[in-house]
Amino acid sequence: MRILLTGVTGQLGRELQRILPEIAEVIGYSRQEMDLAQPEQIQRAIARVQLDLILNAGAYTAVDRAETELDLVRAINGIAPQILAEEAQKREVALFHISTDYVFDGRKNTPYTEEDETNPLSAYGASKWVGEEGIRQATANHLILRTAWVYGAGETGNFVKTMLRLGAEREEIRVVSDQIGSPTWTGDLARAIAQLLTHTPFPTGTYHYTNSGVASWYDFAVAIFEEASNLNFPLKVKNVIPITTADYPTPARRPAYSVLSTQKITALLSTQPPHWREGLRQMLRSM
């Protein structure tokens, strides 16, 4: 199988490039090689290669900046997925796309299933929703995998890296405790993607995948410091103080409750996602 992979320098893209060669030949495109904001570049780049599947791990992920870069976020997250889907359809290959919990408004208090109604609160969430819908219109041969609270290696920052940096500099750190989700390690996410890719028949439609268990950002921060100190990371932090979203205003609104139900994917693959704390340990050990 030959896979065209976008977003190769991102957190997930880097992990996919490490894992997918076990099951496929990977042709990775960075932003320089194929700019998702330029439709003709997408078409030209795809025309150059023979492929069996397109895997879109590229995205505009700066959730707060998106509120003021509306054209760019719409082009990359809203329009590009549909173009990828149309190109996949022309070649009779599947499109595997990554989406987000931020398509939901977080007003529920039980895990979001694939059938739940979406209602994005932010420009980023709205752009990802438009991207999903464009794919659904362009080809039935798609798999949209929604995930949440992703962290791993890669060029972009993430919550774990930020906490380790702040924890090394400060004695006191304030962290939001009224947003709940499932932190998800790219190592586990990439393994699940590999399992989906090798599943026969190819599973089409929408699926949710996160690590199991739930946490607030505050719970996650406390766990990061506990696990990092067990591994002798240099840390100054003594107090982690829970605060509310209202105490920490950001340009983009985020869902208060971001837990995705993973029942559908668990039934398909016959395995439960590992607990988020185990993913965290693995990530820290690999650093």
Ligand X SMILES: NC(=O)C1=CN([C@@H]2O[C@H](COP(=O)(O)OP(=O)(O)OC[C@H]3O[C@@H](n4cnc5c(N)ncnc54)[C@H](O)[C@@H]3O)[C@@H](O)[C@H]2O)C=CC1
The residues annotated with a catalytic role in the active site are 124
User: Is 147 near ligand X (CB under 6 A)?
Assistant: yes
Which CA distances in Å does 199 have to 52, 63, 117, 204? 15, 32, 27, 11
User: Is 11 near ligand X (CB under 6 A)?
Assistant: yes
Which CA distances in Å does 263 have to 111, 196, 202, 271, 281? 10, 15, 18, 10, 24
Helix (H) or strand (E) holding 17, with range, is: helix 11-19
Q: Determine the 3-state secondary structure of 191 from DSSP.
A: helix
Binding residue for ligand X (CB under 6 A) from 16, 24, 28, 35? 35
Q: Tell me: cis bond preceding 234? Omega within 30 of 0 counts.
A: no
Which residues from 230-259 bind ligand X, rule CB under 6 A? none
Nearer to ligand X, 96 or 235 (CB): 96
Query: What is the Cα–Cα distance from 255 to 125, expressed in whole angstroms?
Result: 10
User: Is 260 near ligand X (CB under 6 A)?
Assistant: no
Query: What is the Cα–Cα distance from 68 to 185, expressed in whole angstroms?
Result: 29
User: Is 148 near ligand X (CB under 6 A)?
Assistant: yes
* Residue whose structure tokens are 């650093």: 287
Nearer to ligand X, 9 or 261 (CB): 9
Which residues from 155-174 bind ligand X, rule CB under 6 A? 156
Options 17-25, 98-106, 248-256, 270-278: segment touching ligand X (CB under 6 A):
98-106
User: Is 57 near ligand X (CB under 6 A)?
Assistant: yes
Binding residue for ligand X (CB under 6 A) from 27, 51, 54, 58? 58
CB 118 within 8 A of CB 127: no
For residues 112 to 131, the per-residue mask of contacts with ligand X, x marking binding by CB under 6 A and - elsewhere, is: ----------------x---
Residues forming contacts to ligand X in the complex (CB under 6 A) are: 6-7, 9-13, 31, 35-37, 57-61, 76, 98, 100-101, 128, 147-150, 154, 156
